[in-house]
Amino acid sequence: MTDADDAFNFIDLGIIYCACSTDASPAFAEGTLLCVLGHALGREVYNEIQPDAVYHNVYMLLNGKSTLTRKTSVQKLIKKTYDQNRWLANESSPEALLEELTEQSEGIIWAGEFSKILKGIKSGGYMAASAEVLNDMFDCPELYIKKLVNKKDSKHKFVIKNAYLSYHTTCTPAVLKETLTREMADGGSLPRFLIVNGEPHRTPRKRLRKDVLNMVQIIRNMLNFMLKIDKSNTVFVLSDEALQYYNEEVEKVTQSEKYERVSSIAGRYENYVIAIADLYMISEALGKAFGDGTPSTISTLVQLVALVQQPEKATDDNTSPYTSITTNFSNSSNRTNCTNYLIVQKKYVERAWKFVKPCLDNAKELIEYIDMGKELSKITEYFREHGRNGNKAWHSEMLTYTNVGAKIARDCIQTLMERSQIEQFTEPVTSEKRKRPYEKIFYKWIGD
């Protein structure tokens, strides 16, 4: 929970619901809930910000060890709260995917292991072509035309209008590290996916709470409400305070040497911050509406947001103020005389950055693994895990654990010391096999 006022917040209610059923990381639940809420909001609503518009569809990747992190359990729990008519096939050929999107341009894919797509891209199989389609759909094209040629040289033409695709999948850290390439990271699939990591947190199994079914129904009702509510002629804009804060945070990431290797990913993630900030505002508004028992009196998105709208100011390029939720502008091709502007406050952008920043750090670690090479990455991971918080990472145990040869390990250690990521120490040790004490080498992790 975030605070007392958010006791019925859609996102936080969903996190509680998942916590009642599984010991998975709350971040898995939060990411999946953002994915379904973003899809329920739909394509006709967007955030109006340079250079064009930011939509609310989400490509979400839950990354954690198999079985222990319960990522698939979270996917299943939240999946059943969303309208099945909007589900697309979990896996399909490029032709089948294009045909399905031609018939239903707004949908969500609940995929299993992301490794199938990654391995397909790497091998150049049919999944590589499917991944290309997914990449194209991410930007919600107004018109998408694709021609494919089958084995009989007969051309198939697919026309997709107003695409709005969300994608939810899972993977394990080992598979990601073994399968990803630099090409995928820079310009392929990876920049479009928010990578949410989760660590195992095993707890004893308990009896299911009696109110879980009630929670499921409330979450389902909220999503169905979002699907049906009138959203016509409505866009989001950041308040002046929110926009200033957002740009300051973007500048920090842009200027930081820490994120130089993931600049292509950071650009996509910066858009996710905007989209997710909008979703947090909707989440709070849904909580207010259903908590007060008033959804039947609300018929438009504007009325819903009015429940939590604060009087923060926003100005357009001509310094004309958005003095209320509904304003009349006609100086932009995206604006009409009856456009409704929903002003997003700073607090929602702050929470969005709080969620997205760890995802960016997760992507950074993956890129570093690829760039450093597997041997160096294995040793780095060992020291990062075993040499933190004053713990001693022993040299001999590192060699056994990583299975890296002594000569290569020596070079890797030298690299890490030059990067000021580890410090080397020695400690006198006595052993029955040796007649006199000797110096045993260990390391401490001092990197970020």
- pLDDT tens-digit series, residues 12-29: 999 999 998 888 899 999
Lookup: tokens for 107: 């949908």
Residue 321 preceded by cis peptide, ω within 30 = no
Question: Looking at residue 85, what is its pLDDT?
Answer: 95
DSSP code of residue 142: S
Residues 6+ apart with CB under 8 A from 361: none
Residue 292: pLDDT band (50, 70, 90) is: confident
CA distances from 396 to 405, 412, 413, 444 (A): 11, 14, 13, 14
Lowest mean pLDDT among 40-44, 110-114, 146-150, 263-267: 146-150
CA distances from 217 to 17, 114, 236 (A): 11, 29, 28
The full set of domains in the chain, from first to last, is: 4-368 (3.40.50), 373-445 (1.10.10.10)
Q: Which is nearest to 91 in space by CA: 115, 72, 124, 75?
A: 115
Q: Which is nearest to 7 in space by CA: 291, 418, 415?
A: 291
**322 versus 393: which is more confidently predicted?**
393
Strands 193-197 and 59-63: parallel
Q: Angle at the Cα of 212 (from 291 to 304), degrees rounded to 5?
A: 25
pLDDT tens readout for residues 174-216? 888 878 877 777 766 788 999 999 887 777 777 777 788 889 9
Lookup: tokens for 148: 């494919």
3-class secondary structure, 98: helix
Question: Looking at residue 5, what is its pLDDT?
Answer: 44
Lowest mean pLDDT among 127-136, 247-256, 328-337, 357-366: 328-337
Residue 126: pLDDT band (50, 70, 90) is: low
**131 versus 200: which is more confidently predicted?**
131
- Per the CB < 8 A criterion, the answer to whether 257 and 364 are in contact is no
The alpha carbon torsion through 347, 352, 353, 356 (nearest 10 deg) reads 170
pLDDT tens readout for residues 406-430? 888 988 998 898 888 999 999 887 7
**278 versus 440: which is more confidently predicted?**
278
Beta strands in 313-382 (DSSP E): 340-344
Angstrom distance (rounded) from CA 438 to CA 300: 76
User: Exposure pattern of 185-208 as b/e (b: 16+ CB <10 Å)?
Assistant: beebbbbbbbbbbbeeeeeeeeee
| Residues forming beta bridges with residue 445, ordered by sequence position | 422
Residue 23, number of CB atoms within 10 A of its CB = 17
pLDDT surpassing 90 at residue 107: yes
Angstrom distance (rounded) from CA 120 to CA 159: 25
Q: Enumerate the H helices of 94-144 as residue ranges.
A: 94-103, 115-123, 126-137
Lookup: tokens for 118: 């990654």
Summary mean pLDDT of the chain = 85
Question: Looking at residue 7, what is its pLDDT?
Answer: 53
Lookup: tokens for 260: 């130089």
Residue 49, exposed/middle/buried by CB under 10 A (0-12, 13-18, 19+)?
middle
Q: Which residue has the tokens 């090409």?
A: 183
pLDDT surpassing 70 at residue 236: yes
Question: Looking at residue 194, what is its pLDDT?
Answer: 95
Stretch 217-233: mean pLDDT, rounded?
94
pLDDT surpassing 90 at residue 141: yes
Angstrom distance (rounded) from CA 24 to CA 8: 21
- Per the CB < 8 A criterion, the answer to whether 14 and 222 are in contact is no
Tell me the torsion sign for CA atoms 51, 247, 237, 109. Answer: positive
Residue 332: pLDDT band (50, 70, 90) is: very low
Residues 6+ apart with CB under 8 A from 447: 384, 416, 419, 420, 421, 422
